[in-house]
Each structure stands twice: as C-alpha cells, then as structure tokens.
Amino acid sequence: MIKPDVIISWPKHVDYPLFRYNMKRWRRYFNEVFIVLTQDTMQLDVSNFIKNDMNNCVFIKAPLVYSDWRSNGIRHVIDNLSKSIFILFLEQDFLIYHGELFQ
C-alpha cells in the first residue's frame, strides 16, 4: 500500500473539528502528516489546541520566503521535510467518509 506524506496549510486562528476527527480516523493510511500553520496576521491563535489534539502530526511554521502564504508553507515542506515520493495535499473541506479511498 502506498502511504503518501500529507501536507496541509492550516490557518492558526481556525479549528476544523470534523477534519481533525477524520485525520485521526484515517491516519494509518499516511506516512508523515505535515501541518503548516499560517496566517500570522490574525490575532486569535488556536494552534496549541490543535497541536495537542493532533499530536501524531508534524507542525511547521515555515520561514517567510515567498509572498504567498500557502505557497510559502507547501514549498518549505517539499524542499526541506518530506522524504516521500508521494504527496497528498489536503484541505480542511475535503471530508473522507470511507477508507476505500486510500486502498
């Protein structure tokens, strides 16, 4: 079975409860899960809660290299952290109902 690395851009001021649930539910199908915390301009920060809840993921605060926040985080993970030849990019509105998707 192919187990890709997963890269997720995650605004530090927003929680996605159903997505967190699904990531824990289907975690066994992934190699590393990289969560790039973004949106430093927002005052609200729930990232500590998310880190505590999703403790089997790698949380990244990418250095600012590119002007686009999403591109900045994704490129940082690809260039420096991910070792897999397969990468799955996920967004929090991608809701997974059945594990057959990964088999």
Percentages helix, strand, coil for the chain, rounded to the nearest 5? 35, 20, 45
Q: What is the pTM of this model?
A: 0.89
Q: Residue 58: what are its φ and ψ, rounded to 5°?
A: -100, 120
Per-residue pLDDT reduced to its tens digit, 30-74: 999 999 998 777 789 999 999 999 999 999 987 777 778 788 889
| Token output for 56 | 């089997």
pLDDT band at 88 (very low <50, low <70, confident <90, very high): very high
